[in-house]
Amino acid sequence: MARTYLNLTLIAVLIIIAKSCKPRQNAQPSNYPYKVEKIDSLNNYYIIYISNSDKTYQVVSKKTKSNCNMIKVNQRYPLFMFEPLIRENDYIPKDRPTNYLDFVPNKVKLDDSTVIIREKGMDNIYRTNNLTGLCYKNLSPIIK
């Protein structure tokens, strides 16, 4: 009886050890701050909605075909460096009237047939060097 109990205990311990040593299936850390919420397309451009803890970015990327690390909806990524396409200071008059934001456009013309309109609730339309089409490039500096 004691031998059977010892064998069962040994088997249980081995199973627990085997389970804890199993590599994680999720290679995407949940602590990455940027999450791809939605991907749309318009003519030759992708419109990608990327959020972090306090903001959602409307990002434009020109369509390209390549074999790469493609972004996916609901996946998280470590870094995006955003560049606004609408620069308010280029449109606001020097005397700054009280309604100076009325001078700032809500759209960006990307080519002759494509105009991207800033979505309601978005502060700007962005581009990023981290994306070529839907291909993600991690441009974070290498820490040695």
- Model confidence over 16-56: pLDDT tens digits? 666 666 554 444 556 899 999 999 999 999 999 999 988 99
pLDDT for res 89 = 65
Asked, for residue 113, whether it belongs to a domain, the answer is yes
Is 59 among the domain residues? yes
| Number of domains the chain contains | 1
Check residue 101 and give left, alpha or beta (phi > 0: left; psi -120 to 50: alpha): alpha
Structure pTM? 0.69
Q: Is residue 143 part of a domain?
A: no
Distances (CA, A) of 50 to 73, 78, 100, 119: 9, 12, 28, 13
Could you tell me if residue 132 is inside a domain?
A: yes
Domain presence at residue 69? yes
Percent of the chain topping pLDDT 70: 65
Q: How far apart are CA 108 and CA 115, in angstroms?
A: 6
Task: List the domain range (segments joined by +) for residue 63.
Answer: 34-136
Domain assignment present for 130: yes
Answer whether residue 22 is part of any domain.
no
38 falls within a domain = yes
Secondary structure (DSSP) of 9-66: HHHHHHHHHHHHHSPPS--S-TT-SEEEEEEEEETTEEEEEEE-SS-EEEEEEE----
